[in-house]
Amino acid sequence: LPLLRADLALIGFGHVGKRFARLLDEQSASLASGYGLSCRIVATATKRHGCEAGGKPCADAFEAIDYLASSNADLRVVVETTTLDIERGEPAAAHVRAAIAAGCHVVTANKGPVAFAYDTLHAAATAAGVSFRFEGAVMDGVPVFNLVRETLPCVRVTGFEGVVNATTNHILTEMERGASFATALAKMQADGVAEADPSLDVLGWDAAAKTAALANVLMGARITPHDVKRTGITEQTGKRAREAMTRGRRIKLVASARKAADGSLSARVEPRELPAEDLLAGLDGSANALILDTDLLDRIAICQLSGSLTQTAYALLSDLVSIARSHRP
């Protein structure tokens, strides 16, 4: 394979962005030999620790994107890893829009753009002849969007249900073992699983954003996280979970969407009691899984049996390779 040179701008450079940069380095030999891809980070932009492009300071993410756009590399890719804003998905969506407008491909691990504006961003990317990829938005690097796009041609997704938030799944598992909600949450925070502000997780917002992303991309919906009927988990959920266990059943925070016969879509996130033999019931701790209802393959599932920062960073890498494959000149 002739070498394809990719220049990257990292918008957001926290844990995920830094792990991605190291992963690119660790995988440089196999990227070159396996996919003919050679990557170089030419700009980084952070909210609190400054921005730089071509080795010089710059004003903000948008200047970093402009700098990338002036590169003459074979591929120009904006890698967006800022944190989720659950009100409107900004400024991540603005970063994606700016990248597309500048003729750059976009890869993001942020759920915001795809949960709030998939439809318009996808259309803009198609019109500009660039790719907009977001594998990391759901289940880290375990393929969900790429699974459907690359390996399930002609298959129509008619619904889904999944356990897609690791923090609440951890907390539920701990509460089943007798811990109080507060203790379980504190343990997750001490272990670095839960954020300092865990409300996005425990109120179900993170799962709702993933539900919107999945419904928008896989089922052609045009919803936002605010359209998802949402119930989070509380101390009371723990009590229900312990009670369910005495009957051999489990409570999981299930994200789901389904199309009614009239074509309307209902999407929800809620604690749901499941029989022990349900695939989702068996997912402990950081395990996640997504069951897809389809026309040609009936029900299939993809599962992430444990999670880590490397897996989130890998999502960006897999999207990058996917872009390189489809834009090889």
What residues make contact with its own copies under the rule CB under 8 A? 23, 27, 30-31, 34-35, 140-143, 146-147, 150-155, 276-279, 281-282, 284, 289, 291, 296-306, 308, 310-311, 314, 317-318, 321-322
Sequence letter at residue 70: S
- For the four alpha carbons of 324, 314, 20 and 85, in that order, the dihedral sign comes to positive
Tell me the closest approach of the beta carbon of residue 22 to its own copies, in angstroms.
Answer: 12
Q: Which is nearer to its own copies, 102 or 291 (CB)?
A: 291
Q: Which residues are catalytic?
A: 210
Tokens of residue 36, six digits: 């003919």
The b-or-e profile of 252-268 (16+ CB within 10 A means b, else e) is bbbbbbbbeeeeebebb
Place of tokens 């409570």: 251
Distance between start and end Cα atoms, the chain:
11
Distance CA 137, CA 214 (A): 9
Q: Which is nearer to its own copies, 231 or 310 (CB)?
A: 310
Q: Which is nearer to its own copies, 133 or 230 (CB)?
A: 133
* Coil, strand or helix at 205: helix
Given phi > 0 = left and psi -120 to 50 = alpha, else beta, which region is 131? Answer: beta
* CB within 8 Å of 312: residues ≥ 6 apart: 16, 19, 109, 136, 140, 141
Q: Which is nearer to its own copies, 43 or 274 (CB)?
A: 274
* CB within 8 Å of 191: residues ≥ 6 apart: none
Beta bridge partners of 157: 294
Tell me the closest approach of the beta carbon of residue 139 to its own copies, in angstroms.
Answer: 9
Per the CB < 8 A criterion, the answer to whether 39 and 24 are in contact is: yes
Place of tokens 């402990």: 284
- For the four alpha carbons of 217, 164, 237 and 273, in that order, the dihedral sign comes to positive
Helix then strand then coil, % of the chain, to nearest 5: 45, 25, 30
Q: Which is nearer to its own copies, 30 or 199 (CB)?
A: 30
Q: Which is nearer to its own copies, 90 or 284 (CB)?
A: 284
Tell me the closest approach of the beta carbon of residue 153 to its own copies, in angstroms.
Answer: 4
* Coil, strand or helix at 287: coil
Q: Which is nearer to its own copies, 61 or 281 (CB)?
A: 281
Q: Residue 209: which of 109, 317, 91 has the closest Cα?
A: 109
Distance CA 19, CA 13 (A): 9
